[in-house]
Amino acid sequence: MDLDLSAEQIHFRDEVRAFLATALTPEIRRGAALTSGVFAEPDVAGPWQAALEAKGWLVYFWPEAAGGPGWGAVERWIFETECAQAGAPVLPGMGLKLVGPVLYTYGTPEQQTRFLPALRRGEHFWAQGFSEPGSGSDLASLRTRAVRDGDDYIVNGQKIWTTQAHFANWMFALVRTDTEVKAQRGISFLLIDMTSPGVTVRPILSASGDHELNEVFLEDVRVPLANRLGMEGEGWSIAKFLLENERGGTGYAPQILGDLDRLERATALRGSLKDRAVRLRLEAEALEMTELRTLLEIEGGAPPAPRSVAVKLIASEIRQGLETLAVDAFGLAGLQLPAERPFYADGAPPFAGPPEAGVAVARYLNARAWSIFGGTSEIQLTIIARTAVGL
């Protein structure tokens, strides 16, 4: 694969760098640097999303027909790499990367007009309502029930591990609308207003003390029929599209390499620590080439699986290795774990060392979830065995 950039691509890279130099304010950079969870919170993500939308680059992974800028795979790779190197926040993907593509693919014109502009403006903050107690890896066994009542559904059930649901005003959810057919065929896809009566959100604190996950309880929640995406019983097919789109459109390596660069600048790695950093860099660069190749193949019409499944598995292992290295590299300074959140707040207590050390142990603890969310590593290995190896 030829990695030499053309003159046009170099010009584009320089344009991205110039934009980042002005759009990434010190406040946004600091917020991103001191975010210990996977995604930036609204007070950091919001200004960055607004800057990207004003530039026309917010939905760079959407096709041009849906409002994207019309970039190819290489331009997307350049943009993600430059953002990661500059320390840009990681925007929550539940709206932009997950439900957005579902809306412009399956939504009616009325649904697209209602939801897509509000999503881009940041007026709608989305949560994903898929997992349930006992229905995580086996999603087809979900039990949240939606019963038709005139022009509405009455929804009862529980969702769990719902990322940033405490900020969300909308949730896209899989619900069971038919109990008499095969499990997958009885599932529908609903868009639920989180301000509706009967919606309760309860926090789940991670081992680090961060509040990023939640339980969502739905008790006689009335959801208009107009908020169903696709036909009744089509939810499983829509969910498969969503997950394939997520896996095929996500680049993990740029962010890993950017974080590794920042770690090396903040510490003086020597001996075995330096050896581990070199090994992680080689693994991340190999992952980067795999991701870029996958993007180019998808651009040419190939399906994202099964290589994209392996990408997520490998990225999880590298991410966990990187956060373990950070804790070891910072020594005692890397073991502090202040209870106050967020770390970037004006009233937050000072760190006993560099800011990167102050978030090291929180990021380490949160990284343990990388091999669980989005499909456990064991599930990913099973998928690879079946689809790629033929076992």
Catalytic hit among 132, 246, 283, 323:
246
The reported pLDDT for the residue numbered 39 is 94
pLDDT of 95 strictly over 60: yes
Give the SS3 label for residue 219.
strand
Q: What percent of the chain has pLDDT over 90?
A: 76
N-to-C CA span, the chain: 30
DSSP assignment of 87-145 equals: T-----HIIIIIIHHHHHHH--HHHHHHHHHHHHHT---EEEE--BTTBSSSGGG---E
pLDDT of 11 strictly over 80: yes
The reported pLDDT for the residue numbered 248 is 57
Mean pLDDT over 94-123 rounds to 97
Q: What percent of the chain has pLDDT over 70?
A: 96
Q: Find the range with the poorest average confidence among 116-125, 216-225, 270-279, 354-363.
A: 354-363
**8 Å CB contact between 88 and 32:** yes
> Catalytic annotation on 246?
yes
Element (H, E) at 287: helix 271-299
* Nearest-10 Cα torsion for 251, 253, 259, 263: 180
pLDDT band for position 310 (cuts 50, 70, 90): confident
CATH topology of domain 126-233: Butyryl-CoA Dehydrogenase, subunit A; domain 2 (2.40.110)
pLDDT tens column, 123-156: 999 999 999 998 877 788 999 999 999 999 999 9
The reported pLDDT for the residue numbered 306 is 63
pLDDT tens column, 237-289: 999 899 877 765 568 999 999 999 999 999 989 999 999 999 999 999 999 99
pLDDT tens column, 164-203: 999 999 999 999 999 999 999 999 999 999 999 999 999 9
Domain residue ranges in the chain: 7-91, 126-233, 250-389
pLDDT band for position 312 (cuts 50, 70, 90): confident
Mean pLDDT over 69-86 rounds to 95
The reported pLDDT for the residue numbered 123 is 97
Q: Find the range with the poorest average confidence among 107-111, 132-136, 288-292, 386-390.
A: 386-390
> β-strand 126-129 against 170-176: which pairing, if any?
parallel
Element (H, E) at 190: strand 187-193
Distance CA 186, CA 17 (A): 48
pLDDT of 364 strictly over 70: yes
CA angle at residue 320 from 3 to 41, to 5 degrees? 90
> β-strand 152-159 against 211-224: which pairing, if any?
antiparallel
Mean pLDDT over 210-219 rounds to 97
Comparison of pLDDT for 278 and 2, the residue scoring more: 278
pLDDT band for position 218 (cuts 50, 70, 90): very high
The CATH code of domain 250-389 reads: 1.20.140.10
The reported pLDDT for the residue numbered 250 is 64
Residue found by looking up tokens 């309880």 in the block: 217
pLDDT of 2 strictly over 70: no
* Arithmetic mean of pLDDT over the chain: 92
Record the pTM.
0.92
The reported pLDDT for the residue numbered 365 is 96
